[in-house]
Structure formats: structure tokens, C-alpha cells
Amino acid sequence: MTHTRHDWTQREILEIYNKPLMELLYEAATVHRIFHDPNTVQVSTLLSIKTGGCPEDCGYCPQAARYHTDIEGNDLMSVSQVKAQAMRAKASGSSRVCMGAAWRNVKDGPEFDQVLEMVRTINKLDMEVCCTLGMVTENQAKRLAEAGLYAYNHNLDTSEEYYKEVISTRGYEDRLQTIENVRKTNVTVCSGGIIGMGESAKDRAGMLVALSTLDPQPESVPINALVAVEGTPLEEEKPVEIWEMIRMVATTRIVMPKTQVRLSAGRTNMSREGQALCFFAGANSIFAGDKLLTTPNPDVNEDMAMFKSLGLNPQKAFVKAPQPETVEATASKYHALGEKPKWTRPEHKIERNETAKQVAKAELKK
């Protein structure tokens, strides 16, 4: 399909998620090639600017003060520390920096002013700057926008039904309210979730309904696999199978075609082959650096070696998914010149509810 739908149902999404894997992969890769360059993956860096001591009770999070984990808490980093880390990240191929603070919500005052200064500083480095600071009011979102924030992350985590099994200190409505507050500014929305918290496939589909029916859909959707940390209520959860991750990425790509789908936490448990299938299925971002907030993550050199063997290029900052009209125009321009478009796409325009198999059949008839 070339147009974004905002009326996906849980049943439809579940049907996609449960398709035979080869069909699901083919369909997701087809959609991916219409809207994105399949050989480009964004490298992002996640910085924990204030670690631990959080009053919330997210069952997966080692930073919640109430759980007994090995996390070493830190006060808010200085602007110069953040700048130095962002410059290092840029030098090693990152085009986006996401700053995370373990807060329930943003409080106006000197600490928020310091974060605003960090945003201004990273902005000058010509990198996309994202923040994840907990709940924000409309006014705080406006101040972040004025400072030059490119994206605000606030994950829905899971389905509305399963949410209360994982978090009790705030509700799903609070999450949606923050997203709405961010939407009142020109800051883009980053919102996704975590799989492997004991939820069902129906809950995974439910989360994708909540995200895909937002209008506009989030520009960025991180898909995380739970990293079960000792001392948290979810410490006993079984690791997510790579097939579940691939299915989740592929389904996200199909229902949110223009979105940047981010392969986030849990990559240390994935083989290169598994990650390659996630990229084929539509993931177009990874987080680099040996730590993802507080949990382990592959070393950036390993990631660059993986990019090299897969022929992937790191994406530059501020690249937006092309609109369908742009895709058509670019493809016909290249065809007129007898050249291949930068991204290949089926000639046949995919209609709503049409499967990739039907598209291929239509192509063969020509």
C-alpha cells in the first residue's frame, strides 16, 4: 500500500503478525523499499544523562528506585560532558543523540534549563536530538521545541490492556497525553514498546493499533526486546526469540510504512544473521554504544563491521521517508534516464489490503 492507514484493527494486525514468515518478510520488505532506502540504517546514540533513583515502578526497569539492582545512580550530567559524548558519537557514525533522564516527569527549574541547554548544544552539532524525560506538559514541550529538539521519546510500552500488569504508577492515558502535548509542537514523536514482558501476541498487536491509529503516526517507533535485569519484577522472563523480533519489526513496518523502525534493546542476544533479517523486514535504525541507558549493547566497532559485511550505510541526520508521490516521481525520473531508482519498488501500485503476492502476480501479467 502506498498510503498510510490509521484504521488498523487488532485482528488485522494479528493476522499480519502470524503470517507464514517468508510471506511476512516479503511483504514487509516490499513496503520498506517503497518508502526507504533498504541499504541505509541510522545509527543513534542513547545517553543516560541522569541515571537511577526513579520513583516509577516500570517492571522492566533497573532504574526504578524501589528495585534492588546493581545500577549506579548519577546526577544530571553537565552540558560539557554531554557535548563531548555527542561529538564522539558523531565521529563514530551516529546522526542522532537521544538523552534519557530517569524522571517521572519534567519539572520546571534549573535541571530542565540545563537539559534545554544540552538540546541547543547538540543541535549546533548538526545532529538530530531526541529526549526521553518522562511526562511533559504542553508548555514544556514548547520550550523543548524552541531549543531545537527534533524528537521526543515516550514509549507506550505494550497494549493498553497489558500495561497495568507492568506499571502501576501512571496510566496509558498519561502516556497518550504526553504524546499529544508533543504533537502540539513541531517536535517529532518517537514511541514504541518492549516485547518479552509476558504479553501475548494480541497485546503486541494492541500496541501497534494504539501507535498506528495515531494521526499522524509516530515518525519513529523503537522495538525493544526485554533485557531481563536481576532485581526487577521481570527478571525471570524468558529471552525473546529472534523470530518474534523479526515478526514484530515486519508488522510494524507494514502498518507504519513511513516510520523509522528502531531495532533497540536486546541486540546483544541477536546474531548478525538475525539482525540482518530485521533490517530486511524494515528496521532502519540501531542504537550504538556499549550501553543502552544501563543495559549491555554491542560495541560500535562490531556494528560497523556488521554494516560492512551487509553493505549497509549509516543514514545522515534529518532524512525523512519520501511521500508516495515523491517515490513515483523519483522512480519515473530515473526510468526516463534509463537508470535504476535509488530504491527499487514494484511498478504496480499497491492498494489497501493487497498482499505482496498479489502485487507480484500483477507484475508478472505485464
Given 96, 104, 130, 175, the catalytic residue: 130
CA distances from 188 to 31, 69, 260 (A): 22, 33, 11
- The answer to whether the CB of 100 falls within 8 A of the CB of 293 is yes
Please report how close the Cβ of residue 161 comes to ligand SF4 at its closest, in angstroms. Answer: 19
Pick out residues in 110-149 that bind ligand SF4 (CB under 6 A): 134
Which grid cell is 19? 503470517
By C-beta, is 264 or 275 nearer to ligand SF4? 264
By C-beta, is 134 or 289 nearer to ligand SF4? 134
Pick out residues in 168-227 that bind ligand SF4 (CB under 6 A): none
Given 96, 98, 247, 253, the catalytic residue: 98
Please report how close the Cβ of residue 65 comes to ligand SF4 at its closest, in angstroms. Answer: 8
User: Secondary structure of the chain: what % helix, strand, coil (to 5)?
Assistant: 40, 15, 40
By C-beta, is 153 or 275 nearer to ligand SF4? 153
- The answer to whether the CB of 229 falls within 8 A of the CB of 295 is yes
Given 143, 175, 183, 190, the catalytic residue: 190
Pick out residues in 57-86 that bind ligand SF4 (CB under 6 A): 58, 61, 63-64
DSSP letter string, 171-203:
-HHHHHHHHHHHHTSSPEEE--EEE-SS--HHH
Interface with ligand SF4 (CB under 6 A), residue from 34, 102, 179, 288: 102
Decide if residue 54 touches ligand SF4 (CB under 6 A). Answer: yes
CA dihedral sign, ordered 160, 165, 170, 175:
negative
Please report how close the Cβ of residue 101 comes to ligand SF4 at its closest, in angstroms. Answer: 8
By C-beta, is 59 or 322 nearer to ligand SF4? 59
SS3 111: helix
The residues annotated as belonging to the active site are 54, 58, 61, 98, 130, 190, 262
